[in-house]
A and B are shown apart, each in its own frame.
Chain A
Amino acid sequence: MTLIETFSLAWEGLVLNKLRSFLTTLGVIIGVAAVILMIAVSAGAEAAIADQINALGANLIIITAARGVPGRPPTLVYDDALAIAQAVKGIAGVAAEQSLADQLIKWGNVSFTTPALSTTPDFPLVREAPVSAGRFFTQADLDRKNKVIVLGSKVAQDLFGDASPVDQEVVFGATRMTVIGVMAPKGKVADTDYDDRVYIPLTVLYQRFLSNIQMKDRVRTIYVQAASSETMDSAIGRIKAILAQQHGVTLSNPDFIVQTQEDIIQTQQATTETFRTLLAWVAAVSLLVGGIGIMNIMLVSVTERTREIGVRVSIGARPNDVRRQFLLEALILSLFGGVVGVIGGVGGAWSFNEMGAMRTVLVPWSLGLAFAASAVVGIFFGYFPANKAAALDPIEALRHE
Chain B
Amino acid sequence: MKTQTISSPLLQWNAQPDPLVRVERLVKVYDTGEAPLRALDGVSLDIWRGEFVAIMGHSGSGKSTLMNVLGALDRPTEGRYLLEGEDVGEMDMEELADLRNRRIGFVFQSFNLLPRLTALQNVMLPIRYRVENRMSAQEREELSIAALESVGLGERLHHRPNQLSGGQQQRVAIARALVNQPSLLLADEPTGNLDSKSSKEIMGILQRLNRQGVTIVMVTHEPDIASYAGRIIHMKDGQVFSDGQNGSQRDADRIPVTQQEITV
Contacts and interface: CB of A to CB of B under 8 A. Distances in A.
Contacts of A310: 112
A395 B100 contact: no
Nearest to A314: B106
A316 B97 contact: yes
Contacts of A321: 97, 129
B63 interface: no
Given A395-B68, A395-B74, A316 B129 contact: yes
Given A1-B129, A395-B68, A395-B73, A314 B100 contact: yes
A320 B94 CA distance: 9
A124 B99 CA distance: 90
Nearest to B176: A315
A394 interface: yes
B82 interface: no
Contacts of A312: 125, 129
Contact of B128 (A1, A16, A307, A308): A1
Nearest to A390: B93
B125 A315 contact: yes
A315 B68 contact: no
Interface in A352-401: 394-395, 398
B97 to A, nearest CB: 4
Given A1-B128, A321-B129, A395-B73, A315 B116 contact: no
Contacts of B177: 315
A1 to B, nearest CB: 6
Interface string A55-79: 0000000000000000000000000
A368 B206 CA distance: 58
Interface in A315-340: 315-321
A311 B129 contact: no
A184 interface: no
Contacts of B81: none
Given A394-B73, A395-B68, A316 B130 contact: yes
Given A9-B128, A321-B129, A395-B73, A315 B114 contact: no
B129 A317 contact: yes
A217 to B, nearest CB: 85
A5 interface: yes
B73 A315 contact: no
A316 B126 contact: yes
A316 B98 contact: yes
Given A316-B98, A316-B101, A318-B97, A398 B108 contact: yes
A395 B97 CA distance: 14
B139 to A, nearest CB: 14
A311 B131 contact: no
A381 B100 CA distance: 30
A319 to B, nearest CB: 6
Interface residues of A, number: 23
Contact of B94 (A12, A318, A394): A318
B102 interface: yes
A298 interface: no
B238 interface: no
B71 A314 contact: yes
Contacts of B102: 316
Contacts of A398: 73, 108, 112
B126 A315 contact: yes
Nearest to B116: A16
B71 A315 contact: no
B65 to A, nearest CB: 9
A395 B108 CA distance: 12
B69 to A, nearest CB: 10
Interface string B122-150: 00011011110010000000000000000
A53 interface: no
Contact of A314 (B73, B93, B131, B180): B73
Given A308-B114, A395-B68, A395-B74, A315 B129 contact: yes
Interface in A1-38: 1-2, 5, 9, 12, 16
Nearest to A394: B73
Contact of A317 (B68, B97, B106): B97
B40 to A, nearest CB: 14
Contacts of B97: 313, 316-319, 321
Contacts of A308: 114
A311 B101 contact: no
Interface string B155-182: 0000000000000000000001100100
Q: Which residue among A1, A310, A320 has the maximum number of chain B CB atoms within 10 Å of its CB?
A: A1
A2 B134 CA distance: 10
B180 to A, nearest CB: 8
A398 B180 CA distance: 21
B105 to A, nearest CB: 8
A183 B71 CA distance: 94
Nearest to A1: B129
B114 A311 contact: yes
Contact of B93 (A1, A307, A311, A319): A319
A320 B95 CA distance: 12
B112 A307 contact: yes
Given A315-B126, A315-B129, A315-B177, 10 more contacts: A16-B116, A307-B112, A314-B106, A314-B112, A315-B100, A315-B101, A316-B130, A317-B97, A318-B93, A321-B129
| 3 A-B pairs with the lowest CB-CB distances in the bound complex, closest first | A316-B101, A318-B97, A316-B129
Interface of A: 1-2, 5, 9, 12, 16, 307-308, 310-321, 394-395, 398
Interface of B: 68, 71, 73-74, 93-94, 97-102, 106, 108, 112-114, 116-117, 125-126, 128-131, 134, 176-177, 180
